[in-house]
Structure formats: structure tokens, C-alpha cells
Amino acid sequence: MIGMEMVDLDGKPDGNRATQIMNRALQDGIILLGGGPEGNVLSFTPPFCISEEEIDFVTARLARYLEEM
């Protein structure tokens, strides 16, 4: 498992953005878990048998979400 903290431009926790990304990812078939006291951490829990192709898919989608927000 690995987490990615979402913060705003002032460095404050951004739980709204994390929620938006989780919802958008779910529409694309990607399940992300939310966490952290402020709900601003995206948790990635890939299976042991994940392929490079699947990793590339998720990272490309995540990059797109971040660019669009």
C-alpha cells in the first residue's frame, strides 16, 4: 500500500480534491481508498499480480485527473 496526500496551494489538506479523484477513478474502474484525518489521502492497494500495463493505465489516469482539476 502507498498513499498520496492531496493538499491545496497553501499546503492545507484537500479532502474535497481527494474525494473528486476517488469518484472519477471509480468511473474508470479504479478503486482508490480515502484516508487520513482530513480525508485527503489517496491510498493505492494494488494486488500482488498487477502488471506494468495496469500500473501505466492508473498512473496515466491519475495524471489526467490532476491536470483537469
For the cut 90, the answer to whether the pLDDT of residue 3 exceeds it is: yes
Mean pLDDT on 6-24: 96
Alpha carbon distance, N-terminus to C-terminus of the chain: 24
CATH superfamily of 2-68: Aspartate Aminotransferase, domain 1 (3.90.1150.10)
Domain ranges for the chain, please list them. Answer: 2-68
Please report, for the chain, how many H helices and E strands are present, in that order: 2, 3
For residue 16, what is its C-alpha cell?
474535497
For the cut 90, the answer to whether the pLDDT of residue 69 exceeds it is: no
Q: Which residue has the cell 481508498?
A: 33
**pLDDT, tens digit (0-9, with 9 covering 90-100), for 19-48:** 999 999 999 999 999 999 999 999 999 989
